[in-house]
């Protein structure tokens, strides 16, 4: 059975979209150290995306390249979680140019890294040897991202009245989007059947334990969920992804093949 | 080992890391292997971090050196087994320290069991003391978990007051 390319694109798109979002802090970090931290996290994520796009392009064959996959697919072709494309601010600010809220950034990085440490750990046993090698590298990087975001989650939650309120608002806003982790897309189903991907549903208890423990230490409350489950990983996105891709892909589309 | 393989190792020996010019690519473990195959000589390099921007430069340096020496070889980037700071030689660690970068602690745990490798980062643990490369004091504190390059963190010595880079165990 061949490696489902859509599955590799799901993993790659997650990494590139969050990498692009976090890079928006470059030059705007709340403190110098965090400015560097977010730039470094982005560097890792974009590095992971490149390796995954290269593998997907190799399997696609023909004239596929990593750049074509990253720069010349439209929003409906992206397979990332909706959580990762949201701007860095809470639910009540409806436009992308709004001020960035660092609590939103940190909570999102925490929720995603807490999932991905388990995903990469499992993918080290993937039947696709290239994906297994990428997973082994990514696991180490993601563990460090988790350490960083968890540390800040606790500092903010168990910090001042203001930081606690912002962290709680970010948790309330973002937690519903994590429901998308636990539905199985056709690409994930095919990858699991081929022993190339892993069953995310089975990771839920481990993720829950990790998240609940961190929220408790941060004195934050986990909201109850009911409602719509987002479907970014099958290509149904929020409007925010189009703006993000507009910025990320603009140069490559205006000057195809440009080098410097 | 064939003489041509020896010649490739010797040719590439002077190449250093673009960001840390005191250690060679071989000492860092980035230059992994030189092998003779049916298709010719292959030079194997491995990235430290997935997004390390120095990899392009490193690959160019390797190619240029081989070309200059008149050696036809393919340069291959290989991810597995994943690079770890445990591969760094003691000699390289001493060079780093002398250069002002605290070397990584040994056994970063990358080869440990699955539960260890994932969960050891999750709970906050007191990390092992990092010795100041200037005065040797272990009375040091982390100022930023991310430093000037992907592979380093920032520390400060509480005795001699010097800030310094720490090569993260990874």
Which residue of chain B has the CA closest to A134? Answer: B79
Whether residues B138 and B161 fall in one domain: yes
- Please indicate, yes or no, whether residues B91 and B163 belong to a single structural domain of this protein: yes
Asked if A130 is an interface residue toward chain B (Cβ–Cβ < 8 A), one would say: yes
The B163-167 sheet, strands edge to edge = B101-102, B163-167, B152-157, B140-144
**In this structure, what DSSP letter does residue B76 have?**
E
> Who among A42, A50, A121 is closest to B118 (CB)?
A121
- Alpha-carbon separation of residue A73 from A7, A65, A190, A240 (angstroms): 15, 12, 22, 16
- Would an 8 Å CB–CB cutoff place A40 in contact with chain B? yes
Q: Are B114 and A134 inside 8 Å of each other by CB?
A: no
Same domain, B67 and B100: no
pLDDT digits (tens, 9 = 90+) for B91-129: 899 999 999 999 988 655 444 333 444 444 444 445 678
Among A98, A89, A139, A90, which residue's Cα sits nearest to residue A115? Answer: A139
Q: Whole-angstrom Cα distance, residue A148 to residue A169?
A: 20
Cβ proximity of B58 and A110 under 8 Å: no
How many Cα atoms are found within 13 Å in the side-chain-facing hemisphere of A13? 30
Whether B62 and B122 map to the same domain: the answer is no
Burial class (CB in 10 A: 0-12, 13-18, 19+), A212: exposed
pLDDT, position A94: 55
* Joined tokens for residue A20: 């692009």
* Per-residue confidence (pLDDT) for residue B105, from 0 to 100: 80
B169 touches chain A (CB under 8 A): no
Which pair of tokens denotes residue B53? 């921007």
pLDDT (tens place) for every residue of chain B, 170 residues total: 578 899 999 999 999 998 889 999 999 999 999 999 998 999 999 988 888 888 889 999 999 999 999 999 999 999 988 888 888 888 899 999 999 999 988 655 444 333 444 444 444 445 678 999 999 999 999 888 888 888 889 999 999 999 999 998 87
Q: How far apart are CA A84 and CA A137, in angstroms?
A: 21
Query: Residues B65, B37: one domain?
Result: yes
Q: Same structural domain for residues B92 and B137?
A: yes
Q: Which of B44, B52, B110, B146 to mutate to test the interface with A (most CBs of A within 10 A)?
A: B146
Radius of gyration of chain A (CA): 18
CB contact under 8 Å between A144 and B49, yes or no, is no
pTM: 0.89
CATH number at residue B54: 3.30.300.130
Q: In terms of domains, do B18 and B65 share one?
A: yes
A209 interface with B at CB cutoff 8 Å: no
Residue that is last in its domain, among B46, B77, B108: B77
Partners of residue A118 in chain B, C-beta under 8 Å: 118
If asked whether residues B54 and B30 sit together in one domain, one would say: yes
**Chain A residues with beta carbon closer than 8 angstroms to that of B120:** 143
Q: How many domains does chain B have?
A: 2
* Predicted local distance difference test score (pLDDT) of residue B33: 93
Would an 8 Å CB–CB cutoff place A43 in contact with chain B? yes
User: Of B26, B47, B77, which one is at a domain's C-terminal end?
Assistant: B77
B117 interface with A at CB cutoff 8 Å: yes
Domains and CATH numbers, chain A: 5-254 (1.20.1260.10)
pLDDT number for residue B69: 93
Model pLDDT, residue B111: 40
Are residues B64 and B99 located together in one domain of the fold? Answer: no
* B61 plus B107 within the same structural domain: no
Interface pTM, i.e. ipTM = 0.78
Give A57-61 contacts, CB < 8 A, sequence gap 24+: A58/A130, A59/A2, A59/A3, A59/A5, A59/A8, A60/A5
- Of the three residues B77, B95, B116, the one that is the final residue of a domain is B77
- Give yes or no for A35 touching B (CB within 8 A): no
Of A43, A136, A154, which has the smallest distance from its Cβ to B51's Cβ? A43
For chain A, residues with pLDDT lower than 50 are: 1
**Where in the sequence is the domain holding B118, given as residue range(s)?**
85-167
Q: Which phi and psi (to 5°) does residue B42 adopt?
A: -120, 135
B144 touches chain A (CB under 8 A): yes
* B161 and B95 share one domain: yes
Residues B10 and B35 in one domain: yes
């Amino acid at each position: 059975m061949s490696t489902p390319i859509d599955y590799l694109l799901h993993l790659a798109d997650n990494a590139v979209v969050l990498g692009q979002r976090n890079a928006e802090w470059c030059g705007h970090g709340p403190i110098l150290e965090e400015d560097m931290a977010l730039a470094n996290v982005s560097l890792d994520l974009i590095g992971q995306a490149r390796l995954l796009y290269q593998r997907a392009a190799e399997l696609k064959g023909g004239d596929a390249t990593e750049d074509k996959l990253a720069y010349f697919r439209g929003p409906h072709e992206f397979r990332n979680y909706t959580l990762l494309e949201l701007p860095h601010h809470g639910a009540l600010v409806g436009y992308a140019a709004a001020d960035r809220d660092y609590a939103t950034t940190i909570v999102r990085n925490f929720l995603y890294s807490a999932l991905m440490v388990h995903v990469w750990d499992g993918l080290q046993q993937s039947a696709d040897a290239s994906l297994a090698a990428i997973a082994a590298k990514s696991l180490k990087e993601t563990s460090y991202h988790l350490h960083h975001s968890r540390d800040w989650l606790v500092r903010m939650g168990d910090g001042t009245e203001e930081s606690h309120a912002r962290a709680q608002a970010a948790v309330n806003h973002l937690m519903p989007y994590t429901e998308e982790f636990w539905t199985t897309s056709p690409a994930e189903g095919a990858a699991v059947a081929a022993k190339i991907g892993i069953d995310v549903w089975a990771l839920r208890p481990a993720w829950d334990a990790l998240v609940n423990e961190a929220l408790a230490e941060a004195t934050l409350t986990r909201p109850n969920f009911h409602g719509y489950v987002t479907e970014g990983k099958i290509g149904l996105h929020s409007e925010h992804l189009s703006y993000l891709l507009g910025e990320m892909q603009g140069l490559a589309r205006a000057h195809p093949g440009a080098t410097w | 080992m064939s003489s041509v393989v020896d010649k490739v190792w010797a040719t590439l020996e002077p190449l250093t890391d673009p960001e840390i010019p005191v250690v060679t690519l071989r000492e860092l473990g980035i230059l992994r292997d030189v092998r003779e195959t049916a298709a010719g000589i292959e030079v194997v390099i491995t990235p430290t971090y997935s997004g390390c921007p120095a990899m392009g430069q490193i690959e160019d340096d390797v190619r240029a050196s081989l070309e200059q020496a008149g050696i036809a070889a393919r340069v291959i980037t290989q991810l597995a087994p994943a690079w770890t700071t445990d591969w760094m030689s003691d000699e390289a660690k001493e060079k780093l320290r002398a250069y002002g970068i605290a070397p990584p602690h040994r056994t970063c745990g990358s080869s440990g069991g699955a539960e260890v490798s994932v969960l050891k980062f999750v709970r906050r643990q007191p990390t092992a003391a990092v010795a100041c490369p200037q005065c040797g004091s272990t009375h040091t504190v982390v100022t930023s978990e991310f430093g000037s390059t992907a592979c380093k963190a920032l520390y400060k010595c509480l005795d001699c007051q010097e800030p310094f880079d720490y090569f993260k165990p990874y």
